[in-house]
Structure 1
Amino acid sequence: MLLIVGVVAIAGALVTLVVALSAGAGQTTGVARSLELIEKSVNHQEVSKSDLPLMDRIVLPALARTRSLAAKLSPNGTQDGLTKRLDLAGNPGTWTAERIMGAKGAALIVFALIGFVLGGLSVRGLLFAVIGAALGFFLPDLLLMNAGQKRQEELRLGLADALDMLTVCVEAGQGFDAALMQVAKSTTGPIAGEFARVLSEIQIGKSRGEAFSSLAKRTSVTEAKTFVSALVQADRLGLPIGAVLREQSNQMRLVRRQRAEEKAQKVPVKILFPMLLFIFPALFIVIIGPGAIRIVDTFSGGGL
């Protein structure tokens, strides 16, 4: 009996081993299995639509359809221009040139419908729809341009202080890359992000000149372009970086003072029209009003 039980147990173990080997024979193991899991792409048909977020279920497919409409109405090179303006704006959020094109098409449709509803079923409504479509089509461009101008102005205001700190760090004995990292950590605003990006590009293998040249392409600030040109030239010729930074810092401070004086000279011209339209009429009423009332009363009394 014990012999029969042992034979049955051995046979069961062999059958279990064969089944396990045959089940895993067609599957990869080890590193190959890990790579297969990494490279496997998710098929959206395998995922229930209710499991996807709202952005993936509704917004992105709608933007994909309106993007084709905007692409047909836009000239060649529009996406390259949008990419440039996104760089100037600091690439806000997760927006890309494709999403902005989709937003342009969606705004075109929405504003056209609003214009048609306001104008009614008539020629006027058709005219309002055309005007609304034009406004909606160019509205994302205007918003993106406004964001880029604000960011470039912030970069211009922070560049002088960042350059002073960079000069002090280099003259104190720090290396140029360490000084850049110190400035990126200690300052805030767009200039800190740009210096951090330059450091990241240097760390992944770009030369210092190439990294700063990319910075010059991402900005429209004249002072930043001049600073980058001086650094690239000093790097090519082997000039001492401390002396170059000191000269650029002095020049930046001079330009900053000249810009402040220019804005101060524009103040009288800017306040002229508000004074003529709002302040002078009130002064005339306060000063001349009582005298005018007395003159009217005098003449009216004399006439009686």
Structure 2
Amino acid sequence: MLLLLALILFAGAIAALGAAFAKEQPQGLARALEALERSGHAGQELVDEVDPPFAERILAPFQARALTLGRRLTGADKAERLRRRLDLAGNPQGWTVDRVLSMKVLFAVILPIVVLAYGAMLGGSPTTLVVIAIAAAALGFMGPDLYLQNKSAHRADQIRRSLADAVDLLTISVEAGLGFDAAVQQVARNTDGPVAEEFSRVLREMQLGMSRSDALKAMGARSNVEDLNTFVGSMVQADAFGIPIGQVLRVQSSEIRVKRRQYAEEKAQQVPVKIMIPLILFILPCLFVVVMGPAVLNAIDAFNGN
């Protein structure tokens, strides 16, 4: 029952946070369209102004205060580092710098409260509860950073795996007679994953007036994958010096495939070292219990004279 109550409290806290962060204010054209759609519902808007929902009355001010406190705690340069982490993580839907800062504060406050409530129901000592609450606050404050770091590592691994195939398709398209922009469009349309998303963003930036070199450099800046940065550098130099892009793409495709095979071999060589920890901590003790358990019991009976 105590565990069920603690889970209910934690689920309620997560639901409150979700309600606080679920609704975003529309910007630009979406905001204008929403205003036109609401033009025939002025009466309902007046009712909402008189009696705003719970999220606007309670959770929105709490979120604003958490954002202010998060800016004070993180410092002036933290926003740029968070923006960099969001770029490396692929800019998850709904995640902004302000939202991450407010989430850090809210998790640092709510998680210790839930832990203290659960520890008090179990009857823990005050010293233990204080230590656990401090650890929970630190974990809650660092939780969004850990999530973004894990998301960045997973995205970088996906880019390493799919970049060679994307460059192969880009090479085939260019050698078939398409221009570089049309070949990039083919890659973005016929593939999926982080590489396709990055190529789609490159096309959108070029349509907005950014030069090809600047769009490719921006794509390289949004990733920490060495193979992608090397590919971007080669494309920028080929565009600057007038080198045939098909030849450069053919060389880059071959090099990226070699690096991908080397990366796979490196990961395979790390498996014996990584499997040693669960082997020693979990598998071998169980094996010793099964193999040595009967012998130990027989020895105990023999010493007791049974």
TM-score range, shorter chain: 0.7 to 0.9
Which of 130, 143, 149 is the matching residue for 2:147? 143
- Larger relative contact order (C-alpha < 8 A, sep ≥ 6)? 2
Query: Is 2:85–2:149's contact at 8 Å kept on the other side of the alignment?
Result: yes
**RMSD of Structure 2 on Structure 1 (CA):** 3.4
Aligned-partner residue type, residue 154 of structure 1: Q
Amino acid in structure 1 at the alignment position of 2:105: G
Q: Does 1:197 align with 2:201?
A: yes
Aligned 8 A contact 2:159 2:194 in 1: yes
Query: Is the counterpart of residue 83 in structure 1 residue 83 in structure 2?
Result: yes
Cα gap change, 1:51 to 1:211, in 2 (>3 Å)? farther
Matches within 5 A, 1:48-59: 48-49=48-49, 56=56, 58-59=58-59
Please name the residue that 1:23 is paired with. Answer: none
**Alignment match, 1:163:** 167
Report % sequence identity.
45
Q: Distance in 2 between matches of 1:241 and 1:281?
A: 59
- TM-score, scaled to structure 2: 0.73
Residue 212 of structure 2 corresponds to 208
Match of 2:73 in 1: 73
2:221 is matched with which residue: 210, 217, 239?
217
CA distance in 1, matches of 2:129, 2:274: 39
- Whole-Å separation in 2 of the counterparts to 1:105 and 1:57: 19
Map of 2:113 onto structure 1: 113
Quote the Cα distance in structure 1 between the aligned partners of 2:54 and 2:229.
42
Deviation at 1:124, TM superposition (A): 4.0
Q: Distance in 2 between matches of 1:235 and 1:287?
A: 68
Mapped partners of 2:289, 2:143: distance in 1: 43
Deviations 1:205-242 (A, max 9, x none): 11111000100110011100010011111111111101
Aligned length: 259
CA contact (8 A) 2:170 2:184 kept: yes
CA distance in 2, matches of 1:283, 1:137: 40
Pairing 1:247–2:251 present: yes
Task: Give secondary structure in 2 for the equivalent of 1:191.
Answer: helix
How far residue 62 of structure 1 moved from its aligned partner, in angstroms, is: 2.5
Report the counterpart of residue 237 of structure 1 in structure 2: 241
After TM superposition, list the pairs within 5 Å mapping 1:30-45 onto structure 2.
none
What is the Cα deviation at residue 122 of structure 1?
A: 3.7
Q: What is the DSSP-based 3-state SS (H/G/I as helix, E as strand, rest coil) of the residue aligned with 2:79?
A: helix
Q: Does the 8 Å contact 1:160/1:249 carry over to 2? A: yes
Relative to the length of structure 1, the TM-score reads 0.73
Which whole-Å CA distance do the structure 2 matches of 1:285 and 1:70 have between them?
50
**Structure 2 unaligned regions, length at least 5:** 1-31, 37-41
Per-residue Cα deviation, 1:148-207 (whole angstroms, up to 9, x for no partner): 221221122111110110011001110000000000000011111100000111111111
